[in-house]
Each structure stands twice: as C-alpha cells, then as structure tokens.
Structure 1
C-alpha cells in the first residue's frame, strides 16, 4: 500500500535495540490504519501517496493541503477517509462570499431569554474538509488560521476548544485556475504537508471507468476505526525512536533551505525565504508516523526522505529569478535532498 520499505534504504540505518513491547504495540495499533487504507481503496482508485499522507496527518494531527486540477478525486479522497472513521465530519465549500461566522459560528439573540447565545459553526467537528480553500476571502482565512494553529476558536470574546482529534484537510486548485487566490504564507506554514495530486495512469483510468461509469453507487464506505483508536495510535507515534544522527539530518535539510552555501549549493539566488522551525518539527513527526505505518519503532533516513518533499515544498519561497529560470520549490528541495549527506 505504501511506497517505501525498510529494505529500500540506500544507507546504513540506525537500528536501536527497540523495546519489544513497544514494537508489538505498534504492530497491533498500525492494523486499524491498514484497514482504513483498504476501505478508502474501495472507492478511490490509485492515489496511494495521497492516502498515505492522509494517514500521516491523522497520526500526527498535522493539517494537509491537497493540490490538483479539478476532477482528480481530491474531495472524494478526504470524504471517503472521513466516512471510514466513526467521527464527526464537515465539508465546507469555500467561496468568495463566505463569512467567518459561516465557519466558526456566531452569537444569536434569543428574545425569549433576552440574551445572546453562541451558535457553533461547522468547524466544531473532528475532520474538516475545506474544499477549494483558495477561493475564500482573507477574513475567513484568518478565522481558519486560529482553529488550525491553536485548536480553538473565539466567538464574541469567548474561546471554545475544538474536539480532539481535530484535522483540516484542504483542497485547492492551482493558482493558475480562474477565480483562485494564493494562500498567505503564514497559513501555508500551518499545513504540515502539501500533497500534489497528479493524473491517474492509463490502467488506473480504465479502473475508474469500470467503477464509476454507472448511475448508482456500487459500494458504500464502512466505518472501520474510531477516534479513540486514532488517539491511541498517536500516543505510540510519539514513542517512536529518533536517533541523534537522524535528528541532525532533519535539521540539516531545513537549514539548507536557509543557508544553502554551507551545504555546497549555489542556489541562494533562487530562494527568497527558507523553511521555518515548524518544518523541522513537522518533518520529524511525519517521519515517525511513516515508521509507524511500516510497523517500526524507530525512524530511518528513508522515512525522512520519503516525506521531506511534501513537508518542505510549500515552505520554500522562490524568487522572481527562479521563476524566470523555470525553477520551482520542488526543484530546490530535490537539490537539497541530493546534496545533504545521509547518515
């Protein structure tokens, strides 16, 4: 199901003497995640990387930004995952006329009681699908920013905590599409990963045709896990071992986006801003979740390399010179991954 394996590592892996009891717990609690992936695959054809990243988001509480042109099943993927978890789910269609109150709620006056009461909005759910997030105005983006970062919202001067787990999976069309606007850099940094969805292969499209070219839905999604199982798995992800050499490798990857000359890269003219310390934290958490999904109690360099592009691509801001030379943030991140020595 997942695209990497411990046997694929191209360098010596730090393999500590893992606690056998922890390894057994990880083996047991990773099984619901496999059931979840299998259930999503009943509806979603292909897109294994997207499904894997959604599971990483679930295991770490990291929000996902999913980008791709219309028609690539971005919304279907998130909605299917939500149905496969017995949890509260809300789909929000972002439009230019959306108001913050439509998202977080507002105060409503009750004449009978002669008082204002709080009417909570759809943001109070475990899983939020923010569909076409880059169509929303700035005020809505600010309201969502507080919810994503602090797991709370403020209504009429009163603060309300959001349920746990709380996860935002947002979809967006590329900014070249008509009627869309780039997200603020501050909000982009709140997303743990940006996953770019590509067109299906020929065989996958034939499978899509066989499944979907009918007027009636053939197979409904069944809930195969619960929020409590997700939270138990998160506790184990926190316990996954990260060797000091792996930690230094992660820091070097992020530092190379800011001081590339120190790592033998002459690409500073292409980088406007490098990744923030939040990238270091998120890359470590995502690598631990990747190890967990492969039933391991320790992180390897390949875990970091597997996930680094999605964690860093939206945090490296490129210059106009880079755009003129047709260089993207993905090009820069790949050059850094190739240049920084693997422990």
Structure 2
C-alpha cells in the first residue's frame, strides 16, 4: 500500500518543547517519521527560506520540497495530506485554501477561532468529499479507548452521572509570557476554555455523548497578569485577562446521565492528581485520576472500577498503546496513534471535521449559557 504523502505547515527548527511554535516539531514530526504509513514530502512556512531552514535543521531528506505559501503546497500533485499545525488564528485561512484544492487536511485543535469558521470548513470538506481530521489526540489515547470500551460493554450498567474536577495547566496564574498572550483572551479562539477545557470536552462527549440542558459559570479570578519577555523581563505589569480560570458546567448527556465539569486554576494545587473523573452507573463506578496533561501523558493516569461491594480494581489500558509509541516522547505518542487510526480509517479513534464541529457547537452553547464575572 502506497504511503500517504504529507505536506507540513508550521514546522520550526526547534528540537525541544520551549513554548509557542514548537508543537509540530516535538509531536507531529516524530509521530510521522515513526509511522510506515506516511512520508513527509514537503513543507510550507512563511517563506521558502524558512521552510528550507526547517528541513535542514530537522534532518529531513534533501528531496523534501520547500514552499512559502499554502497555495503552492496545495498545488503540488505529490502531496496527499496537508497538516496545519500553527496558531489557531490562522487555521481557517490555511485549511480553507487546502480544501479548495481538494486536499485531505489535518488541522490542530481548536479547529478554528470561532464556530462560524468551523462550520464553513466542515461544510467545505463535505462538499469537496475530502478526508479530514483534527488534533484531538485524546480520542486516540489508550485511556479514552479503554473508558469507551468499559461504557459500551455495560460493565457499570446504565450511566447515571459523571463528575469531573480538574486543575488546568500548572503555569503561573499571574505571570505569563508575552508570546502566549492570546491564551489570555476569551475571543482569540485559543485560550483556557477552548484549549484545555475543549480538549477534555471532546474526549468527554466521545465517551459519554453530547451535552444538553447546559448551565455554566465562567469566572476570572486573576483579572490582570504580568506579561514577561523572552528574558523574563516585565513588559506589561497589568495586562487585562478575559479568559476564565474557573469553569463550571452542568448538563445532561445524550443517554440521560447528569454531568458536572469543574475546571479550576489555583495558585497552588492541593491535590496530587490534576484530574478526578467519576462515572457512576447502576452496577458500578469508574474513577479516573491523572495529570493535567492527561491527553498527552496518559501513562501517568489510572482507571479504577468498582462493582458491587468489592474493592476498586485497577484497570489496565496500556495494551491499547501501539508498540511504536513506546519509543516516542509523551508529546508524540498519542499523536502517532491518531495518525495510525486515520491511515486505517478508524474514526472511533480520531475526530473528523464533522465530529469536531459538534464539540465546537457544544463549547458555543456553554459559552452562551455562561454567567461571567
């Protein structure tokens, strides 16, 4: 079977994760290089020169083509799949250009900066009959695969309720790098709500179904933050923050279960686990614990299940991990599994534009229903 020929948009010269601009290099690049189903044949950056620098820095073959625009990349007949892994503000423009050229497209999560852009991209992909997927790698994680299996097998009976208490990323609540300031803006499309909460929500509805009858509260406990430059110098002592650091959501799942999700961002985390997720059924209960980066480092997570009066049983989910993922960093492992699922057409393990658009709609409903302060 011929390999899928990939054109990457957004590959930097970075070797390690140091912040914005590094994700493609530390996740997509190793995930693709480790996969026998894919071949990286081209790069597009802001200029041809920038693409050539990344090709050389990352040790890609000299035959790898360098482009300075998505249109030039999409015109290449040797490219089967275009991967858009840049700032969310640019997702719509780049993905649309690729779709108009009838290319298969991957876009990082969030799919676009707002739901109107998301709906347009999903409709265009459907109209042009191309294959798409989204960087919601939580669906491909062994932990979520096992949870979905447990729920589908009726091991805990009919699900009655689900309660989530989570702590978002441990980065300081009152000091922030200027290069990531869009994360502090509720309207940027890439913030605490759409990224951290959004990643979890996508996996949540993938396992338990959609949410309706939504009630929500957004609260910004730290209304200003210090912005720092590359040398940790203060460039703005009181930058106004509009994205929430406290997110409370209640609703009913499509199966009729009561659901509550509480995401907090404390100055000091008093719990050894960043995530505690209880799923209660008529015949038992599941408890999931893990780090805030659960969709990446799910090896550090744990699933326990209790049926009847017996003790909690620790459930093994590592068997879902692909052998190749064992040699990859945590940032690349589940991304590799997602690519593997796409190559096989297994939509139970990755989000298409259509299914990702559904998660974006629910995020929109939560936002519209929110009491804000």
> Fold conserved (TM > 0.5)?
no
Task: Looking at secondary structure, tell me which structure has more strand per residue.
Answer: 2
Task: Looking at secondary structure, tell me which structure has more helix per residue.
Answer: 1
TM-score by length of 1: 0.30
